[in-house]
Amino acid sequence: MKIVTALLITSLCLASIGANAAESGDIKTAKDCLAYGKRVMKNNPDMMVVLKQAKIKNEGIQINRYEEKVGKQPVSSEVVATISSSQEILGSILCLYESDKKPLYFHYTPFE
C-alpha cells in the first residue's frame, strides 16, 4: 500500500510540474506575440502607446492548435492573450503562427 501511495504522489507531482511547464510556455508564447506586435506596429505611434504599457495577464492566455492552411500559408497555432496596463484591461492581442516560433500576423482588439 505504501508503494502505491508513493507512486500516486510522484505521479501527481510530475503532472503538476508538466502543467506549470505548459503554462510557462504559454506565457512565453504570448510575450513573443506582444513583442512581435511591437515590431510590426513600430510606425504607428498611437498603437505603440498602448503596446508599450501592455502586460500579459497570465490567466488570459489561450493557444489554439490549428495545423491547417489559410489560403496557401500554413498556420500551426493561434495565440490570444488579454493585455492590461497597471490601471486597466487594455484589450486582447492575437497572433497567428506558421510554427510555434514564427509569428505571421498580429491584431489588437481594444477592450470596450
Q: Where are the domains of the chain?
A: 2-110
Q: What was the pLDDT predicted at 23?
A: 63
Instruction: Check pLDDT > 60 for residue 22.
Output: no
Tell me the backbone φ, ψ of residue 55, rounded to 5 degrees: -130, 140
Instruction: Check pLDDT > 70 for residue 19.
Output: no
Cα dist. 3→14, 15, 16, 17, 19 in Å?
Answer: 16, 18, 20, 21, 24
> What are the pLDDT digits (tens) for 42-98?
999 999 999 999 999 888 999 998 788 888 888 899 999 999 999 999 999 999 998
Q: What was the pLDDT predicted at 92?
A: 97
Number of H helices, E strands in the chain: 2, 4
Note the pTM of the prediction, 2 decimals: 0.76
Q: What was the pLDDT predicted at 17?
A: 36
Q: What was the pLDDT predicted at 47?
A: 96
Instruction: Check pLDDT > 60 for residue 7.
Output: no
Q: What was the pLDDT predicted at 80?
A: 96
